[in-house]
Amino acid sequence: MCKHKDGVHIYSGFVHFKGSFEGKDCFVTSDGRNGTFSMTDINESFSVGFRIASDLAYFNDNENLVQVEFEAKIPWTIDKKLESEW
């Protein structure tokens, strides 16, 4: 996603599974379309949330589809000389 000003790289993504979950949808919105995520911190580097959604889902049938959102904050560890030049 981005490189934070403290040098940590922030990555996020989502995966799907068929099933259900108990709890609150992690997507917070006031208009039903735009919003933010209220994630649960696992530790200082990783957070997760669950929602009923089918963004880019592999499944043809979206019934009982849960979207798992995640975010990771990871320091860059690859030596600069090993990075490719674009």
Confidence of residue 12 (pLDDT cuts 50, 70, 90): very high
66-77 confidence digits (pLDDT tens): 999 999 998 877
Residue 17 has pLDDT above 50, yes or no: yes
DSSP string, the chain: -EE-TTSEEEEEEEEEEES---S--SEEESSSSSEEE-PEEEETTEEEEEES--TT-S-S--TTEEEEEEEEEEE--S-GGGSPP-
The predicted model scores a pTM of: 0.74
Q: What is the mean pLDDT of the chain?
A: 84
